[in-house]
Structures are given as structure tokens and as C-alpha cells.
A and B are shown apart, each in its own frame.
Chain A
Amino acid sequence: MSKSHENHIVPVSTYLTIFTILIVMTGVTLWVAFHDFGIWNTPVAMLIASFKATLVLLFFMHLKYSPRLMTIVFFSSAYMLALLILIVMADITTRTIPAVSSVGM
């Protein structure tokens, strides 16, 4: 592992900038929720949440200043989760599900 990562201290100003962006993006999350994008409602909300999460990962959790290995390891789990949800969604959106009343709901 490279020596360039040694003793890197992220300045307070960076933390404050990221904090401000996160608070502003929370406002954006709320603002877009008032708009109807049809089937894109959840993807839009998740896109904003992912952007916020990426900022937290890169700066608060120091991924930007850490060996690339940490990023690869962490995103392997995000990748597996994406696979899980995508395959489940691909399944249920393409099969015929019995009407709600017939399964006793």
C-alpha cells in the first residue's frame, strides 16, 4: 500500500462544505418529492440519496484519500445488492401475480 496516504488529515473546511451540501440536498430530496415523475419517482429519490451517500463515503469516510482497495471492497457489496434488487424486480415485473383478493389480502 502506498505511502502517499500516510497521515492525511482532511481540513475542517472540507467537512463543513460537505455538511452544507448534504443539508441542501436534503432540501432537494423534499422538493422533488412534491413532483410526480410517474415510475421515475423512486429512481430520482434514490439517485439523490446515492449522491449524498457518495459524498459521505468520499469525504467523511475518507475513501477519496484511502487506498483504492477499500473502495473496491465496499462497492462489491453495493454491486451485489444492486444485483439482488434488479433480479427480483426483473422477476416480479414480468410475471403474472394472482389478484390481491384471491390471496386473502
Chain B
Amino acid sequence: MSHGHKSEFLAHHFEDLEQQKESAALGMWLFLCTEVLFFGGLFCCYAYYKYRFFDAFISGSHHLDIKLGLLNTAVLITSSLTMALAVHAAQKGARGRTSLMLLLTIALAGVFLVVKYFEWSTKFHHGIIPGHNFQFPAEDLYGGATVKTVEIFYSLYYCMSGLHGIHVILGIVVIGWLWWINQKGRITPEYNVPVEMVGLYWHFVDIIWIFLFPLLYLLGLHVHG
């Protein structure tokens, strides 16, 4: 930014817009660090129990609907693309296209949640809910798996994909807010930090799912085909 010209978007404690943006980005990356460790605890827990009860994890995993998991993976990657295109449009100052891309991202996040709803409700109908009445068909137990140990897999499945789902819901809220301030004309080529920062968050949610998909859904494929 040229000196002498003070942008209306520049807070007084920053040198220029570039420094302001990089400070925001640094804060966002630090937040994502806490998110890595937040999810990391669950991944570590998963690693431990998968090592302990390997057959149970194969049984539980193979009982999940791989087609729906695959669909959701594609949906989330596509939503990452539309989010990246929203950032691009905001940088170019294309207000209409920014709004469109943000709405598409929200729509895809909605599709993800609807698919999750059907997945979970099917499991609930079959009694696959960790707790006193947990049920799992005996014929689907592989190797040394027991109903009790498969329950551990499902506890982790619900915790990990549930925590991820909460992040998707929060994503819809903040992207909706972005859409609102963009409609109000508060996003310009000069100042689009909010779009970029929410973009970082949304891509991070995508990354978590990239790891969750093979860990939760694909364990039993090489056994059962």
C-alpha cells in the first residue's frame, strides 16, 4: 500500500493493510493449531483402540455406508473449491460472484449434513448407538471382534464425525455472515480479510474429513471386498 494514503479499512495500530492482513492470518493459523490438537486427541485415542481392538474396527468400519462416505468426501472437496473461488472473486472485487460462491459453499455444506443425517438415523434405527442397548449383528463380527469392542469403534465414529459435523454447522453460520457483509458492500478488493480467514477455517474442516474418511470408512474393504 502506498504511503500517504490511509485506507478506511486500516486499523490505527497497523503499519499498512498488508501487515494487518498478515496479523489476522497469523492469528487464524494459531487458532488452526489449537484445532489440530483438539482433533488430535481423538485421533490419538483412535490409534490406541484400533491397535488394541483391530478386528472390532474392521467389523465396525465395514458396517458403514462407503458410498455415502465417498459422496460426502466429494461434496466437501467441491465446497472447498467453491470457497476458494469465493476468495478469488472477493479479491477481484466481483461482488455478485463472491455471493454466489459463498451460497454454493453453504449449499454443499448443507448436502453434507443431510447425508450425515441419513447415515446416522439409519444407524440409530438399527440400535447402533453406544450405551446400554448397543446392538451389532453377530454375523458381521470379524475375527476376534465382540459387540462390546465394536461399540468402542462406534463411540469414536460418533465423536470424531460429530465433532467434525459441529465444525461444518459453525462453518455454515460464519459463511452466512460473510454472505451478509458482502451483500452490504463491506467486502472489497482492498479489504477481503474476512473471506480469506473464513476460507482458511473451511479448508481446514475439509482437511479433517480427508483424514477421517479412510480411517472410519475403509478399514474393512481389503477383507470383505
Q: Which residues of A contact B (CB under 8 A)?
A: 1, 3, 5-7, 9-10, 12, 15-16, 19, 22-23, 26, 29-30, 33-36, 41-42, 45-46, 48-49, 52-53, 56-57, 59-62, 66-67, 69-70, 73-74, 76-78, 80-81, 84-85, 88-89, 92-93, 97, 100, 105
Q: Could you say which of B32, B74, B92, B211 contacts A26, with CB atoms under 8 Å apart? A: B74
CB distance from B146 to the nearest CB of A (A): 7
Is the Cβ of A49 less than 8 Å from the Cβ of B211? yes
In the complex, which of the residues B51, B149, B196, B207 contacts A93, with contact meaning CB atoms closer than 8 Å?
B51
Contacts of A88 in B (CB 8 A): 44, 47-48
Could you name 14 residue pairs across A and B whose Cβ atoms are closer than 8 Å? A9-B92, A16-B81, A23-B74, A26-B73, A26-B77, A34-B221, A42-B50, A61-B204, A62-B196, A66-B22, A66-B25, A89-B47, A89-B48, A92-B51
CA distance A71 to B210 in the complex (A): 20
Residues from chain B with Cβ under 8 Å of A67 in the complex: 22
Q: Are A97 and B218 in contact (CB under 8 A)?
A: no
B221: chain A residues at CB < 8 Å are: 30, 33-34
Q: A49 touching B214 by the CB < 8 A rule?
A: yes
Please, how many angstroms separate the alpha-carbon atoms of A58 and B73 in the complex?
Answer: 19
- Decide if A85 touches B47 in the complex (CB within 8 Å): yes
A23 to B210, CA, bound (A): 11
- Pair B88/A81 contact, Cβ less than 8 Å: no
* A85 neighbours in B (Cβ, 8 Å): 40, 43-44, 47
Contact A70 B29 (CB under 8 A): yes
Collect the chain A residues with CB atoms within 8 Å of residue B18's CB: 1, 3, 5-6
Are B25 and A9 within 8 A (Cβ)?
Answer: no
Give the distance to chain B from A11, nearest Cβ to Cβ, in Å: 8
Partner of A49, one of B40, B77, B144, B210: B210
